[in-house]
Chain A
């Protein structure tokens, strides 16, 4: 099983600042990585897939990079609505299976 590890667990920043969230895979997964945003009481929302492709309707301030085992989600200038929990998810294995990171909580400083 591919284990996904996210860091930091919590990130405290102010609106307007940039954010960088990390996700590490226990084995190489190519670019088979997605990022999700989850707000309290809501289902997760797909932000990025293929490590760097924004999903439909996702603002350009969200970007992703990385391949293999190291990945980064960058938010260029935090808006109030961006404070949430972010999860990474790998989908590299066959037969189909998914594993998630434990999440990074992005909170207002």
Chain B
């Protein structure tokens, strides 16, 4: 059974870099045709897609965050990671890692069909 678990170092100071890792269990990133991504939700607000990756390294980012975001995958650990640079208070949110259904080889992708439990990252001095 697929499980996703976010982990990270905790609060981040303004202007620093936010780093999170998602550990995937039950499915091998290297064997899955799906995409894997990050979605965030500021307290009391809606959902915002941050970006997604296919395990081989193809990445896709929200244009509004592209200059500050990078997503990478480590198939040896069955993990993928998020880095968000130059954070401000506006980046305070619950960050979810997720699976997006799809088939990279055929160029098809679909909805977000599995989510981690989310981790709250606060940006504060």
Contacts and interface: CB of A to CB of B under 8 A. Distances in A.
Interface of A: 1, 32, 34, 36, 42-46, 49, 55, 87, 89, 91, 94-103
A1 B63 contact: yes
B102 A34 contact: no
Given A91-B110, A94-B107, A95-B60, A100 B115 contact: no
Given A1-B63, A44-B115, A98 B49 contact: yes
Nearest to B114: A46
Interface in B71-108: 96, 100-102, 107
Q: Which of A32, A36, A97 has the most CB of B within 10 A?
A: A97
Chain B, interface SS category: strand
Contact of A87 (B37, B46, B52): B46
Contacts, number: 61
Contact of A43 (B37, B46, B63, B115): B115
B60 A96 contact: yes
Contacts of A49: 101, 110-111, 113
A34 B112 contact: yes
B102 A46 contact: no
Nearest to B109: A96
A97 B46 contact: no
A97 B110 contact: no
Interface size band for B: 20 to 34
A46 B60 contact: no
Contacts of B56: none
Contacts of B111: 34, 46, 49, 89, 91
Contacts of B32: none
Can you list the 4 inter-chain pairs with the closest CB atoms, starting with the nearest?
A34-B111, A43-B115, A98-B49, A49-B111
